[in-house]
Structures are given as structure tokens and as C-alpha cells.
Amino acid sequence: MTRGRLPAPFGQHIDRERPVTFTFEGETISGYAGDTVVSALLGEDRWLLSRSFKYHRPRGPLSLAGHDANTLVQTPEAANRLAEELPAEDTPVVTGQNYWGSLDKDRFSLLDRLGRFLPVGFYYRAFFKPQGIWHFWERFIRAAAGLGVANLAVQPTYSDKQYLFCDVAVIGGGPAGLNAALTAAEGGAQVLLVDENPYLGGALTYHRFDTAGTEAGPCLEQLRTAVTAHSGIRVLTDATCNAWFSDHYLPVFQGQRLFKVRARTCVLATGSSEQPVVFRNNDLPGILLCSALERLLMHHGVAPEQPLVVLAGNDAAYRTALTALDAGLTVAALVDLRPGANDPALTSALTEQGVPLYTQATVYQAEADASGTRLAAVRVHACSDEGTVGDDLAHIPCGLLAMSAGYMPAYQLACHGGAQLSYHDDRAGFSLSNLPQGMLLAGSVNSLHSLEAVCADGRNAGRAALEQLGLDAGAVEATECSERVNHPWPIFKHPKGREFVDFDEDLQIKDIINSARLGYRDIQLVKRYSTVGMGPSQGRHSALTTARLIARATDRTVSDTGVTTARPPVKPEPLGLIAGRRFHPIRRTSLHDRHLTLGAQMIPAGSWRRPGFYGRPEQRLAAIAREAQAVRSGVGMIDVSTLGGIDLRGPDAAEFLNRIYTYGFLKLPVGRTRYAVLTNEQGVVVDDGVAARLGEDHFYVTATTTGVDRVYRDMLRWNTQWRLELDIANVTSAYAAINVAGPNSRAVLEAAGCDLDLSAAGFPYLACREGQLAGLPVRLLRVGFVGELGFELHVPSLMAATLWDSLMAAGEDYDLQPFGVETQRLLRLEKGHIIVGQDTDGMSHPGEIGLNWAINNKKPFFVGGRSVTILAGQPLKRQLVGFTLGTGAPQPKEGHLVLRDGAIVGNVTSCEYSPTLDRIIGLAYAHPSDSEPGGSITIRTDDGVCVAAEVAALPFYDPDNARQTLCALKQPRPAWPAPCSRWHSRAAATRLWF
């Protein structure tokens, strides 16, 4: 029972005027606005919050700071929420997790009795005989592991991210952080102050720093007012700085926002974690840290009625007892691990109020009530500094035990930055050193504990930050704190065990020691074998004890033993906030809406969407056949805007291309194009395109849709080494392109109104021209990917729709059909043209894929040239060949294997039914000795059915290239004089294009 909430100054966080309710385990719980789920539950004297990971022991709050796993609960949306971080007001439904039956009566708690048969790492010792039986056991072990239950139906809610920049980021708004922020701001720095609590002040809001308890209040008032009023300080409360990344890049989580803070310097005033005493049943609900009790009283005004025992390893715990007395609690005893308090005033203050003191004594064992879920009494024994336990001194009934064995610096952020922890035997504690440049410590993270020293240390950190920023800093104050706050050995082994070192993972003293006895002596191995420190609180309350235990067990110093590596994040962080608003840009060509209107089926091509074919999905094959037929016998056109476009200008442009691509480009005449093959340094073909020479020092090069970004990047990279004189621009999005192909393509272009001579003589195959078409400035390349007379028209993207509409209108008489990528793939396959990335893989070199003709062996260098030459001198291991099959045969699929004498020799890369040829045609890698046309290769198709395909000469269609190079023309016209010079002379238009 509780006696209702305490009056002010207790209960600073709660609004007594606004009662709120929520349900926990189906029961309605009442509290006040400002309560957390935990404080409201404790307000109703409900202490059992969770079941432990392994033994399903009852657990209640330990730190009340969000630093332990004892308060992990389940909400309908999420598992593993820290109940002290859930506002009672905003959390209507809460349940416990990881139990069978009910939280109060968990049937899995039987495991606690079987504990002796489940030693540390028990799962390594059993469950594997006979072979394969683990599969059976694993189901039970997996089901028993895990904590809460994920709700698989929830969808991400809105969250966002914001960048922040500051001169000094102060992490922690306690006395040290407030002083650091003020000093830095007063010195002219822009300061960001981050604190994870709802109100600034840290320990000043709950801890008693002096016997009378009069220091903290005025100090807090003064600091808070000054900080809040200072225009140079931005304060983020309820905000957690969860990691330190290189160069002071700090993720700060606040509500539904992730701030990404870039600070010039960084003051860590993160405080320290109070440490538990390790004794039998130290995990019973009702046993908590001194600071947790102080928070409960001061923040939430919750005053449990049951008698309190304070277990002290330092003077601070005496002051906790004084605060408890002020709050009206019954203090049944103060048990001091030491011979007595350093400050005699504390002793007399307590004895004056009738509190029995036991010195050089410890709680050896805690006892539960009849339900087994709540502390009922403690057994006090004499003890020594080395952990030996003596006589039974007392048996004290109590429902509450507050303990403090000392403090561990909140080292996580510092260690993310590479700081080292070293142990000092004289004060029995770790301290941090080797901080990264620009990182400063202040306050108890810096091993200072008296209020005076902490405040001065904060000011000093502010000064040091100013100095790093080159600002006037002022003189450094002396900080001294001789008070010893850590007990050297607050660890009391009990013959019956259950002295928990790690609450998260249910690890007892013997588990840690036995890990070392088994040979896992390194602290990292102890962690990995026993799982100590691997739980949600990442060793906050176990690292110090573990280091001490292992040091003793392996006869090393605590410093040599150390603690395991601290990794981000400091506290568990929601994945949704890290993911943020997810951004999945899709690229559409200027003609996207035209395609949709025409009924195109859009397919992804990298980040682009392209028409696969035009027509209903169920009529796919018919649509492709129709489109192909149009190109072969009439005219078709395809949007090729997604093709990469790279513009290269400058006196060295030709030399640059000559080095990048396999072909020679120095002598390419203006007004001509050339196939451009790109190999990497291993001699592997990685991209291809067409390079058009538009001027002596101006090339326009196409690249594959998905390859252009890499090609462009590689070009830039190479030229940072070569330093050739040219500019390289990725103009892919600046231009749209349409390929008009088919016997009637020339007629359509003429009908659309073209001012160029399009005749075979005037505009031969592989030429490029620039002129007007339908009143638009158009760059034309005569290329032949699909194997018919064809023109590739490149225009500024803004003009693409106009061009498309003009061509559609002009093509009406010729039954112009738009065609999609799938049709294009079929057509190019009939023509035997490869697609880099489909017919090549990460090993394809030019010799394997019949591209030796595209290599210029005479030039001194090109990227990959050396490798290509070496490979050319080796016998081929495989070769890309064409094959055909009759229509009755099972059609091989791309990826099916080519076999020879039962061994894999290659694979099918392309395969289609060709309506033009009425055969199945394809490309496949085959053994070189099978590459002669007329021979046969074996392809294993679906279900293992092997077919013998005939090796065919390439191309399958129009082997003499009669159709794409030339078409019957009425009247050949003279060649266009200097066609590309106009591109140069129209600088104004060119500028407009970019």
C-alpha cells in the first residue's frame, strides 16, 4: 500500500490536478499526468513489472532511469518498451511480456528451480545428439528466448530528421552540463544542450548533496534560469544523444525526430550509473538503486509504506536515507559495507532519527514474501572489504531496499570515440582517458562527485571548449574531490547462488567465474560465452562487477581485464526513427504520360520506368509480336531517353575517349559515330554505347541506362589522374531520345519535316547530324541496334513530347507503332547484338563475346588494354554463340546451363521466340570448340530436360546488314557539308539545353 502521493517538494513531475488511467495486465491503474507507467504502477504498490530472460524470475524497477531491462513491457504496437519511458498519459494499454500464464503466476518460473541443470552456456553441451536433433530442440529454445512479441501488422508512423550545427554540444543537463553550457555560451559559443530527462537539472532534481539537503535546490534554480534565458543555448530535453560518430557527428533522438548534430566540440556531462550490490536474491522487486528511490520520491512523489533498508557503499546512500526520512518513509536500517560514514554528521543525523546502523556489514540474502514476487526481509551479515561474509547480524523485515555500491562513468559516448577505461585501485573505479580531439568530460563521468567539484568541472569543460574554438576562455578552476564513492568489492557469493551480476541475462557470480574456469578468460570471451553485457542495458550494471570477478579469477588487474567494447547506440533506439521518411525516387522520362496514354506496361530499368510493351498484360506476346512486325516491315519508335548521355568537351576530348574506350577515337571524323566499348582493368566488358563526334573537341557519348552513373564516375576518377583538358558532364536527364526504326523511318522523319538530307549518301550509317525536325533542334545518330534503318533523335527533354507527337502524327500514314523494351530486346537478339549486363557477366572479355573487332590494338593505352591483350593471347574458356531451336522444343530460359559431357560449360544469356524467323533463338556461352555454326550444344531446361540446340551464325536476321546500313532510296543527295559545325556555332541554344 502507499499513502497517496507526497506533497511538494516531492513529485515535481506530476500534475496532481490531472489524474490519468491506463491498464496494465488488464487492471486499471490510476496516476497523474507526468507519471510514467512505472511510477503510476509503483504509486499503486504494484512492483512486479517483468519476468527475467532465462529463469523467469520476478523483476521490478532497478534504476528508474531507463538504464536497465527490468521494466521492459509490451504495448499493442511494440515489444520491449521501457516502462519508465512510457508516459502514463499516452499509453492506454500495457502488459508484461515473456511469461506463460500471467505475469504474477508465470509457469515458466519453474526454470528458476531447474537452474542448476542449466549452467552458463548449457546449450553448448547438449541438444546435438544424434546429429540433426538440434532442429527439434531449437524450436523450444527459440520460443523460450526472445522477450516481447513483435506486432507484425504495425506500419511505420511519421518521423523525420533534422540537421543541427553548433559550436559546442553539451550532452547531459545535470550540474556539470548546465555549467559547461553556460560558460561556453557566455564565452560566445553557440551551444546545444541535450538531456534525456523531461526537465533540466540531472541529479540536482533528486539527489541530496549535503546533509541538510539545502544545496541542490538553489543551485538548480539559478542554473536553470540562467541557461533557459541565454540566447546562445538551445536546449533539447527528452532527447537522447545515442552515439558519437567521427568528427562529433551526433544522432539525437527526440520524440519522432532524429536530429543529426554536427558539433565543433563536444562536452560529455553524461553522469554515471549507480552500481548495485551483488548478493543473493538481489533482483527481488522492491530492491532498487538509491538514485531510483530518490527519483521515485522527488519526481513522482510515490512513498511506499513498507519499511526501507538502505545498503550503503558510500556516503551518498546515507543522504538517500535522509531524503526517505523526510518523505516519511520508515527506515528500518542502514547497512554500511564500510566501517562507517566518512562524514560523521551523516551518522548522527540518522541515529538522531532512530535509524539502526550496521557497519562493516552487508545484506547477504534477500527474502521474498509468500507470493515470491516481492521483497519481505533481508538477512544482514558482517562482511569485509574483500567480500568475505561473517556472522549473521540481523534479520530485518522490509519491503524496500535501496542500494549503492558506487558509480561507473557513463562511458559509452566517450568509448564510441575510442576513449579508454582504466581502473584505479585507490578509488576502486574506472576513469576515462585517451579522448578524441574536441571531446571533453565534465562531472561524474569524469569521476567527480561532490557538487562543488562537479560544477567547477563543468565550467572548466566550457572553458576548454572555448579554447578549442579559439575563443577567450578564462582561468581554469581547481577541482578536487577526494570522496571515495566506490566500494572495492560489493560482491557477496552465497552457497545457494542467485546473486545476480547481470539482471538482463540472469547471470550469477558462478556463471561469470565458471566462464573463466572453462578457459574463456578474456573479457570478450567471457561476454560471448556467458552473454554478460549482451542484454538491453549493455552491461551498465554488470561491467564493473564482471571486470572485478574476472580479474580475480584470472589473476589479473581490473584494468588489464577491462570491459567489453561500447558500441552505438547508447540506449536501444527505434528503427523507424533511424529509417526516417523513406525516399524512393523514381525517374520518369519526359514521355512517361504518353506511354501511359498508349497503354504501356511500365517496367523498372534501374531507377527509371520504361515501357515494356504497349497493350494489356495478358496479350504480352501478341503485343510484342505486333510491335516487332511493325519495325521489321513498316516503322516503329521507342523512347530511349533513359540511355545515358555524357558530354565531353575540350581539346583533349578525343584523347580522353581514346584512353577510356577500346576503339580508336583520335581519327574519328566529325559527324561520325563509333561503337564505344568500355572494359575495366581486368579486361572485362562493363558498358557500351555510341560516341558521336560533334566537333573537333566535342563528343556526345551514350551509355547503358543502368551503367551511366558508374561510367560517368569512372571517367571523372580517371581524369583526376590524367588531368586532361576537357569537361565531362552527365547530361542524361537533359536530353530525351527517340529511336525511329524500320524501313519507313526515313519517310516518317521526312514527313515530320526535317531540314537534313536523310538519304543513304547524305546521312550514311553511323553518321551523326544536327538539324531541325518538326521545328525542333534535333541531334540525330544513325544507329542500328534493332537491325533496321534507324535514327536516334536526341532533343532537350522539354521538347520531347512535342517531338513524339509530331512523329506520331507524321507516322500515321505509315502505321507507326511505338514499341517497348521487351520488343527491342527481341529485335536486337534477332540482329545478334549483345546487351552488356545481360549477355555479359563479371568475367566477359571482348574475345568471348565477339567484340575483338571493337578493339584498337595499335593505340598505346586504354583502360583494361593490358588485360585484354593478355586474355586475347590465352585459349578461350568459353564463347558466346547464337543458337536456334525448332518451335516444338522446350524453350530454354535465360540462366539455364549449357552442358558438355555432363559438365557446366556455360549458360543461356538471352532466349526468345522470334516471330520473324519462327524459331527459338538465343545467345549462350558455350565451349569454344562448339562455337562453329551448324554444331550443337546441350542446354538443360526446366525440370532437367536437356535439349540439343543448333549453333547458328550471328546475326540471325539480315546477316549482310543490308537493312540497317542502307535502304533503297529514290534519289541520293550530296553529303551535308560540315554538319556538326552548327552545334558549335549555336552557343546560345547549347547553353539553353544545359
Binders of other proteins among 392-421, rule CB under 8 A?
A: 416
Which segment (23-31, 115-123, 334-342, 351-359) binds other proteins by CB under 8 A? 115-123
User: Can you say whether the dihedral through the CA atoms of 814, 820, 822, 827 is positive or negative?
Assistant: positive
Q: Is 717 exposed, middle or buried (0-12, 13-18, 19+ CB in 10 A)?
A: exposed
What distance in Å separates the CA atoms of residue 209 and residue 451, rounded to the nearest whole number? 6
- The residue from 368, 382, 809, 843 that contacts other proteins (CB under 8 A) is 843
Closer Cβ to other proteins, 269 or 523, answer by number: 523
Q: Is 563 exposed, middle or buried (0-12, 13-18, 19+ CB in 10 A)?
A: buried
Asked whether position 894 contacts other proteins by CB under 8 A, the answer is: yes
CA 58 vs. chain centroid, Å, equals: 35
Binding mask 229-258 for other proteins (x = CB under 8 A): --------------x-xx--x-x-------
Which segment (123-131, 270-278, 636-644, 915-923) binds other proteins by CB under 8 A? 123-131
* Cis-peptide into 569, omega within 30 deg: yes
Closer Cβ to other proteins, 114 or 229, answer by number: 114
Collapsed DSSP state (helix, strand, coil) of residue 890: coil
What distance in Å separates the CA atoms of residue 851 and residue 678, rounded to the nearest whole number? 11
Asked whether position 435 contacts other proteins by CB under 8 A, the answer is: no
Which segment (117-125, 542-550, 589-597, 975-983) binds other proteins by CB under 8 A? 117-125
| CB of 493 closer than 8 Å to CB of 509 | yes
What distance in Å separates the CA atoms of residue 936 and residue 940, rounded to the nearest whole number? 13
- The residue from 31, 61, 96, 148 that contacts other proteins (CB under 8 A) is 148
Closer Cβ to other proteins, 131 or 720, answer by number: 131
101: left (phi over 0), alpha (psi -120 to 50) or beta: left
Which segment (281-289, 376-384, 870-878, 982-990) binds other proteins by CB under 8 A? 870-878
Rounded to a whole number of angstroms, the minimum distance from the CB of residue 72 to other proteins is 8
Write the DSSP assignment of 214-264 as a string of letters.
Answer: -SHHHHHHHHHHHHHH-TTEEEE-SEEE---BTTTEEEEEETTEEEEEEEE
Grid cell locating 39: 511510477
Binding mask 664-703 for other proteins (x = CB under 8 A): ------------------xx--------------------
Q: Cite the DSSP H helix spans in 285-327.
A: 290-300, 315-326
Rounded to a whole number of angstroms, the minimum distance from the CB of residue 115 to other proteins is 9
Binding mask 188-227 for other proteins (x = CB under 8 A): ----------------------------------------
Grid cell locating 391: 556472522
Rounded to a whole number of angstroms, the minimum distance from the CB of residue 643 to other proteins is 16
Which segment (320-328, 400-408, 744-752, 903-911) binds other proteins by CB under 8 A? 903-911
Rounded to a whole number of angstroms, the minimum distance from the CB of residue 700 to other proteins is 27
Q: Which residue has the cell 510514467?
A: 36
| CB of 195 closer than 8 Å to CB of 239 | yes
- The residue from 141, 596, 945, 992 that contacts other proteins (CB under 8 A) is 141
- Of residues 539 through 598, those in contact with other proteins by CB under 8 A are 565, 567-569, 572-576, 578-580, 582, 584, 586
Please name the residues in contact with 859: beta carbons below 8 A apart, sequence gap of 6 or more: 658, 664, 666, 865
Asked whether position 151 contacts other proteins by CB under 8 A, the answer is: yes
Binding mask 726-765 for other proteins (x = CB under 8 A): ----------------------------------------
| CB of 300 closer than 8 Å to CB of 188 | no
Strand (E) or helix (H) holding 468: helix 451-468
- Of residues 281 through 340, those in contact with other proteins by CB under 8 A are none
Asked whether position 140 contacts other proteins by CB under 8 A, the answer is: no
Asked whether position 165 contacts other proteins by CB under 8 A, the answer is: no
- The residue from 183, 538, 704, 914 that contacts other proteins (CB under 8 A) is 538
- The residue from 3, 517, 616, 717 that contacts other proteins (CB under 8 A) is 517
Please name the residues in contact with 156: beta carbons below 8 A apart, sequence gap of 6 or more: 576, 579, 582
- The residue from 23, 524, 772, 857 that contacts other proteins (CB under 8 A) is 524
Grid cell locating 360: 562493516
- The residue from 268, 774, 871, 881 that contacts other proteins (CB under 8 A) is 871
Rounded to a whole number of angstroms, the minimum distance from the CB of residue 379 to other proteins is 22
Rounded to a whole number of angstroms, the minimum distance from the CB of residue 572 to other proteins is 4
Please name the residues in contact with 410: beta carbons below 8 A apart, sequence gap of 6 or more: 172, 268, 270, 271, 272, 273, 445
| Total interface residues for other proteins by CB under 8 A | 99
Asked whether position 720 contacts other proteins by CB under 8 A, the answer is: no
Binding mask 809-838 for other proteins (x = CB under 8 A): ----------------------------xx
What distance in Å separates the CA atoms of residue 504 and residue 24, rounded to the nearest whole number? 22
* Cis-peptide into 955, omega within 30 deg: yes
CB atoms within 10 A of CB 7: 10
Asked whether position 145 contacts other proteins by CB under 8 A, the answer is: yes
- The residue from 100, 108, 127, 913 that contacts other proteins (CB under 8 A) is 127
Closer Cβ to other proteins, 257 or 528, answer by number: 528
Q: Which residue has the cell 533522438?
A: 253
- Of residues 935 through 974, those in contact with other proteins by CB under 8 A are 940
Strand (E) or helix (H) holding 693: strand 685-695
- Of residues 590 through 619, those in contact with other proteins by CB under 8 A are 603-604
What distance in Å separates the CA atoms of residue 293 and residue 299, rounded to the nearest whole number? 10
First CA to last CA across the chain, in angstroms?
Answer: 77
Closer Cβ to other proteins, 457 or 504, answer by number: 504
- The residue from 1, 8, 17, 117 that contacts other proteins (CB under 8 A) is 117
Rounded to a whole number of angstroms, the minimum distance from the CB of residue 127 to other proteins is 6
Closer Cβ to other proteins, 187 or 892, answer by number: 892
What distance in Å separates the CA atoms of residue 32 and residue 704, rounded to the nearest whole number? 64
Which segment (144-152, 630-638, 692-700, 765-773) binds other proteins by CB under 8 A? 144-152
What distance in Å separates the CA atoms of residue 887 and residue 798, rounded to the nearest whole number? 45
The residues with which 272 forms a beta bridge, in sequence order, are 409
- Of residues 24 through 83, those in contact with other proteins by CB under 8 A are 72, 77-80
- The residue from 215, 326, 709, 841 that contacts other proteins (CB under 8 A) is 841
Rounded to a whole number of angstroms, the minimum distance from the CB of residue 848 to other proteins is 12
Closer Cβ to other proteins, 59 or 632, answer by number: 59
Closer Cβ to other proteins, 299 or 416, answer by number: 416
Please name the residues in contact with 625: beta carbons below 8 A apart, sequence gap of 6 or more: 915
Cα radius of gyration rounded to whole Å, the chain: 39
Rounded to a whole number of angstroms, the minimum distance from the CB of residue 799 to other proteins is 28
Q: Is 674 exposed, middle or buried (0-12, 13-18, 19+ CB in 10 A)?
A: buried
- The residue from 7, 19, 124, 813 that contacts other proteins (CB under 8 A) is 124
Pairing of strands 249-254, 239-241: antiparallel
Which segment (33-41, 278-286, 525-533, 739-747) binds other proteins by CB under 8 A? 525-533
| CB of 188 closer than 8 Å to CB of 466 | yes
Q: Which residue type does 263 have?
A: A
What letter does residue 770 receive in the DSSP assignment?
Answer: E
Closer Cβ to other proteins, 459 or 610, answer by number: 610
| CB of 628 closer than 8 Å to CB of 821 | no
Rounded to a whole number of angstroms, the minimum distance from the CB of residue 855 to other proteins is 16
